[in-house]
């Protein structure tokens, strides 16, 4: 199988965000591999171990994306592709997907895996856009995956429970927590990742983001403590506050 995994170098969720003059200095922040992408990497590696083939990680970005790609190699991925864009952090999901589609459309993937969402941007839209651009079926939030006779049988988390789908390959699948337990990089894998050559792709077309950030400001919270003597008073306060 020829499997591609989308990875993102995103802000560590443990970082404390601060703004200066309405701007975010991302260079001062710690970046990590998007945790949901590690579920996709692990799924790809398990399929490779079962069916053979190769796994390639691909990312749009700069040095932060390269770091995520090297982590994927340390976990066991065979190859890595970096679509070079220094302004990737504020690049919209649609433009990101277009860059990925330009690279993947001629590489004949059997399966494309991705994290169901990025923990820093909270969009989860890139795999959906990519599936549309490549005209491939897409299933998000999968927590179960089996491959049989050129089909993927996936289990998806729904609001009412779990549902199983049968999808013809090639397809794009969004991997969610519960699908597997991502392996830790081995020492040999880490050393290999340091020496690994990453394929750098310079986009022929610099797609523009569908959204533009004009400024940032920290969210403010205000809390007021109220003490009620009886339930009716509490109930009326909820109604006046628009809760009920």
Taking the domains of the chain in order of start, what are their residue ranges?
Answer: 2-214
- The model's confidence at residue 242, banded by pLDDT at 50, 70 and 90, is confident
Give the Cα separation of 55 and 113 in Å (integer): 10
Most confident stretch, 172-176, 210-214, 224-228: 172-176
Closest CA to 74 of 50, 45, 110: 45
pLDDT digits (tens, 9 = 90+) for 4-23: 999 999 888 787 777 777 77
pLDDT at 64 over 80: yes
pTM: predicted TM-score of the whole model, two decimal places: 0.86
Architecture of the CATH domain 2-214: 3-Layer(aba) Sandwich (3.40)
Question: 């070079």: which residue's tokens?
Answer: 84
pLDDT at 233 over 80: yes
CA angle 166, 172, 177 (to 5 degrees): 85
Lowest model confidence (mean pLDDT) among 19-33, 83-97, 197-211: 19-33
pLDDT digits (tens, 9 = 90+) for 79-113: 999 999 998 888 899 999 999 999 999 999 999 99
């Amino acid at each position: 199988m020829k499997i591609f995994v989308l990875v993102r170098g995103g802000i560590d969720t443990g970082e404390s965000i601060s703004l200066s003059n309405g701007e975010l200095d991302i260079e001062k922040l710690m970046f990590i591999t998007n945790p949901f992408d590690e579920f996709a990497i692990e799924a790809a590696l398990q399929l490779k171990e079962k069916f053979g083939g190769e796994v390639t990680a691909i990312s749009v970005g700069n040095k932060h994306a390269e770091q995520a790609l090297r982590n994927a190699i340390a976990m066991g991925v065979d190859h890595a592709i970096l679509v070079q864009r220094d302004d990737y952090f504020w690049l919209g999901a649609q433009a990101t997907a277009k860059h990925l589609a330009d690279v993947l459309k001629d590489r004949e993937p059997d399966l494309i895996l991705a994290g169901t969402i990025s923990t820093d941007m909270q969009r989860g839209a890139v795999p959906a856009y990519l599936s549309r651009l490549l005209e491939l079926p897409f299933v998000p939030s999968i927590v179960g995956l089996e491959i049989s006779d050129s089909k993927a049988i996936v289990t998806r988390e729904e609001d009412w429970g779990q549902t199983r789908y049968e999808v013809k390959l090639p397809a794009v699948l969004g991997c969610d927590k519960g699908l597997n337990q991502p392996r830790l990089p081995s020492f040999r894998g880490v050393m290999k990742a340091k020496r690994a050559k990453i394929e750098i792709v310079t986009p022929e077309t610099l797609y523009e983001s569908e959204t533009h950030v004009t400024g940032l400001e920290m969210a403010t919270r205000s809390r007021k403590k109220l003490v009620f003597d009886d339930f009716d008073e509490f109930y009326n306060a909820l109604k006046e506050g628009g809760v009920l």
